[in-house]
Amino acid sequence: MAFIRNEERDEMFAYMGAIIKDNDSIPILINGVKDHVHILCVMSKNIALSKLVEEIKRHSSRWIKTKGRHYLNFSWQGGYAGFR
């Protein structure tokens, strides 16, 4: 499993923020460490939590794999936690 390196962390969080905005939601704070991410956002009433998480994971996974060989085997875990 590939971990998120410090060199890509801020860019990854900014990219996730853009994904959230593209889904008519408002990112407030995105942070984390090498093996997980925390996202605080205001979700659009027009998207389910599961769909928003799916979009964030799918797009960010594809994006980070363009950042070099370190990420060839990168993948997010299967689950997630959501709170309201």
Neighbours of 40 (CB within 10 A): 11
- β-sheet bridge partners, residue 30: 39
Q: Which pLDDT score, from 0 to 100, does residue 31 have?
A: 97
Token pair for residue 45? Answer: 């009433």
The predicted structure's pLDDT at residue 62: 97
20 contacts: CB under 8 Å, gap ≥ 6: 26, 27, 39, 41, 52, 56
Cα distance between residue 73 and residue 18, in whole Å: 23
pTM higher than 0.75:
yes
Residue 40 placed within a domain: yes
Quote the domain boundaries for residue 55. Answer: 6-71
Could you tell me if residue 38 is inside a domain?
yes
27 part of a folded domain: yes
CB 16 within 8 A of CB 76: no
Looking at residue 84, what is its pLDDT? 80
Query: Does 1 reside within a domain?
Result: no
**Tell me: the pLDDT tens digits for 12-33?**
999 999 999 999 999 999 999 8
Residue 54 in domain: yes
Residue 2's pLDDT is 84
CA-to-CA distance for 13 and 39, rounded, in angstroms? 9
In a domain, 37, yes or no: yes
Q: What's the confidence (pLDDT) of residue 34?
A: 87
Q: Which residue ranges of the chain lie beneath pLDDT 50?
A: none
Say how many domains are in the chain.
1
